[in-house]
Copies of this chain bind each other. A is one copy, B any other.
Amino acid sequence: MCRWLAYSGTPIQLDELLYKPRYSLIDQSQHARMGVETTNGDGFGVGWYADGTSEPVLFRGVGPAWGDVNLREIAGAVSSPLFLAHIRASTGTPVQQTNCHPFRYGSWLWVHNGAIRSFALLKRDLMLAIDPGLYPSVAGSTDSEVMFHLALTFGLRDDPVAAVERMVGFVESVGRRHEVPAAVQMTVSTTDGDRVWAFRYSSERRSRTLYFSTAVSALHELYPENATLRRLSDETRIIVSEPLGELVGAWQPVPESSYGVVQKGADILGDFHPRLP
């Protein structure tokens, strides 16, 4: 069980979302309210894009996010128009930097909350399906990173929604072959530095919570006095495992078995259907 956050929009300092809100991501590292576990203390990470560069920067640590002095410094020093952040609660794999999210491949980032059921049993078959050219870039031992590399194998860079649908369909089929039912539980976000995709799905249709922020223009009308909101462009969007505050009307649940795309112009919300690769 983990918690994550994706931000796209007006460049802001990372600590505006990681530390300052009432139920900030860092607060959730000790006091998650909607998760299976209240504590997410097995590492953290943030990946951000600077304006005008294509390679995101990664900062990841193995201790609890709430006590990491460097994270606080970096979050107070870095502004970015697009970043993913993650706090980890291990589901069994070791607490080490290579197991911390976001995972990165070229200009792509990936964060995951959930698990592949009986991952130890399925791992060998899943690793085998990863493109041999991508295989050496699997640095850690988590199910999350394997999902990322399977999605890359199945075309993430060309058609992200289809690639993630294929990845999930494949993992479920490997699960069935090993008599592991309902193999996938996930909320995922991935980005190429331009658009952001988010997915909410689980084989048993009881997925972890996921929320996206209401359109800024609508919030402006609701809260004309709110100074923070006034600074944000209409294109700004936040996606989170659980709401960052108690502003009524600010957060919408992502429906079960669906995906969203945050992009220039109208965002997209669609149904998610696992399929075989």
Contact = CB atoms under 8 A, between A and B. Distances in A.
Contact of A41 (B41, B60, B121): B41
Given A69-B97, A128-B128, A132-B124, A39 B30 contact: yes
B97 A98 contact: no
Counting chain A residues whose Cβ lies within 8 A of the other chain, the interface size class is 35 or more
B73 A58 contact: yes
A244 to B, nearest CB: 20
Interface in A65-100: 67, 69-70, 73-74, 76-77, 90, 94-98
A34 interface: no
Contacts of A192: none
Contact of A62 (B63, B90, B128, B141): B63
Interface string A117-152: 000110110011000100110011100000000000
A207 B96 CA distance: 32
A67 B39 contact: no
Contacts of A73: 57-59
A243 interface: no
B50 A60 contact: no
Interface string A163-183: 000000000000000000000
Chain multiplicity (copies) = 4
A62 B63 CA distance: 9
A57 B72 CA distance: 10
Contacts of A59: 70, 73-74
Contacts of A41: 30, 39, 41, 64, 67
A15 B49 CA distance: 18
Scoring A30, A74, A127 by chain B CB atoms within 10 A of each residue's CB, the highest score goes to: A74
B77 A57 contact: yes
A70 B61 contact: yes
Closest 10 CB pairs of A and B: A96-B96, A120-B136, A57-B77, A124-B135, A41-B41, A67-B95, A39-B39, A41-B64, A94-B98, A30-B39
